[in-house]
């Protein structure tokens, strides 16, 4: 049995570097925006995303070892496509966070002074930061070159981000009212244009 393509040098170094870019990017967001203190509006969604991400990544790493028969065809192409998706996801997330600037928070926290942001990536989807996070996870699953890893990252990401989006939209509608409703009607897609 050969080891998965992502774990073979030099691909291993590329994979680790791409994952490091993702981790450093999210840590930088955490350091800048992580000083909140347990918002009641969050309803545990920050922890749900953390659990989903950890579960998806751990599954992506272990499944190729446990079920080697589910390897994708053309593993080299899958690897590079996955690395591209991972880095695209990081870029989309950073763009979304920078567009919100001081309105961004790691926990769901909306108050009456907040305004609806409709510029940048928010003109296409209502939650582009989560789009970036999901694309990053999918990139990891594809880079591993394994169908079950891909499935695990997609399912984990969709479950975690879906819960967060439901919690966040409930808070936005309750606090911002008509201005958020108008934005939601103009921007019908939450996560992926023409999909959801």
In a domain, 193, yes or no: no
Q: Is the pLDDT of residue 38 over 70?
A: no
pLDDT band at 1 (very low <50, low <70, confident <90, very high): low
Q: Is residue 19 part of a domain?
A: yes
Residue in 149, 141, 158, 154 with CA at minimum distance from that of residue 19: 141
The structure tokens listed for 170 are 């409930």
pTM of the model: 0.90
Q: How many domains does the chain have?
A: 1
CA distances from 164 to 2, 7, 117, 159 (A): 39, 32, 18, 9
CA proximity to 122, closest of 106, 102, 98, 139? 98
Contacts 24+ apart (CB under 8 A), 66-75: 67/146, 67/148, 68/1, 68/4, 70/146, 70/147, 70/148, 71/4, 71/145, 71/146, 71/147, 72/142, 72/145, 72/146, 72/147, 72/150, 75/4, 75/5, 75/145
pLDDT at 103: 78
Find which of 68-77, 106-115, 129-138 is predicted with most confidence, using mean pLDDT. 129-138
Rg (CA), the chain: 18
User: What is the model's pLDDT at position 100?
Assistant: 87
Residue 196 lies in a domain: no
Query: Is the CB of residue 86 less than 8 Å from the CB of residue 97?
Result: no
pLDDT tens column, 171-191: 889 888 888 899 999 999 998
Report the alpha-carbon distance of residue 138 to residue 135 in Å, rounded: 5
**Is residue 195 in some structural domain?**
no
SS3 at position 151: helix
Asked, for residue 121, whether it belongs to a domain, the answer is yes
Question: What is the residue whose two structure tokens read 């769901």?
Answer: 108
- At 36 the pLDDT is 61
Q: What is the pLDDT of residue 122?
A: 93
Domain span including residue 53 = 5-186
Label residue 39 by pLDDT band (50, 70, 90).
low
What is the pLDDT at residue 177?
87
**CATH code of the domain covering residue 181:** 1.20.120.1630
pLDDT in tens, 41-89: 777 788 888 899 999 999 998 998 899 888 899 999 999 999 999 999 9
């Amino acid at each position: 049995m050969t080891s998965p393509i992502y774990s073979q040098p030099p691909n291993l170094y590329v994979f680790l570097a791409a994952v490091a870019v993702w981790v450093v990017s999210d840590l930088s967001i955490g350091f800048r925006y992580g000083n909140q203190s347990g918002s009641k509006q969050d309803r545990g969604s920050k922890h749900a995303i953390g659990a989903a991400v950890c579960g998806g990544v751990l599954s992506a790493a272990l499944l190729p070892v446990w079920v080697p028969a589910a390897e994708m065809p053309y593993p080299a192409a899958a690897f590079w496509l996955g690395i591209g998706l991972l880095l695209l996801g990081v870029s989309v997330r950073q763009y979304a966070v920078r567009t919100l600037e001081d309105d961004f928070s790691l926990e769901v926290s909306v108050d009456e002074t907040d305004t609806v942001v409709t510029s940048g990536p928010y003109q296409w989807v209502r939650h582009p930061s989560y789009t970036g996070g999901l694309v990053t996870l999918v990139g990891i699953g594809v880079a591993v070159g394994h169908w079950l890893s891909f499935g695990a990252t997609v399912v984990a990401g969709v479950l975690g981000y879906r819960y967060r989006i439901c919690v966040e939209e409930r808070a936005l509608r309750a606090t911002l009212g008509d201005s958020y409703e108008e934005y939601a009607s103009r921007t019908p897609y939450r996560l992926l244009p023409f999909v959801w």
